[in-house]
Amino acid sequence: MSNARFSVILKRNCSMSPAGLAKVFCALALLVLAIGTGFALAGAWLVLPFAGLEILLLGAAYLMYARHAADYERIELGGDRLTVEVADGEQSRRYQLDARRVRVRIEGDERLLLQEAQQELEIGRHLGAEARAEFAAELTRRLQV
């Protein structure tokens, strides 16, 4: 097998960083709180608890987004080793596969699998169907060199 190295990082296409989104959510929370306070001062005090609930839900949505904004898959091929590192939320896992025995398989348009003996590993979760197929073809080509 060739000693040529191949390395790629697959990650989410986030249009806004978690810090930028935090600023937007804070601005929304302040706006909701100001509107709720205005209604409470006008005598509709029951609006304020619902404004607080809306702010809590905005915070929960932000936390869900921020937790997975930095997810990635790093695939490195060097010599006879295929290394796959998967970061999902706060978990990070690393897999070492024998590049000579790995088979690339696509199930439908949804799943790209690496198969070695009894081990099966899904990759390409952050790619669209077309990009996933292109990546599978490129990885297959590199594994056969």
Same-domain check for residues 55 and 108: no
CA distance 50 to 92: 38
Same-domain check for residues 96 and 45: no
**Nearest alpha carbon to residue 9 among 91, 89, 107, 84:** 84
CA distance 77 to 120: 17
Same-domain check for residues 63 and 75: no
Domain region containing 30: 18-68
pTM: 0.72
> Residue 10, Cβ neighbours under 10 Å: how many?
19
What is the total count of domains within the chain?
2
CA distance 97 to 85: 11
What CATH number did the domain enclosing 82 receive?
2.30.29
pLDDT in tens, 69-89: 888 999 999 888 999 999 988
**Residue 75 in domain:** yes
pLDDT in tens, 32-83: 999 999 999 999 999 999 999 999 999 999 998 888 888 899 999 988 899 9
CA distance 74 to 84: 6
E runs forming strands in the chain: 6-11, 72-78, 81-88, 91-98, 103-107, 111-116, 119-123
Same-domain check for residues 76 and 114: yes
**Residue 101 in domain:** yes
**Residue 105 in domain:** yes
Residue listed under structure tokens 């006879």: 80
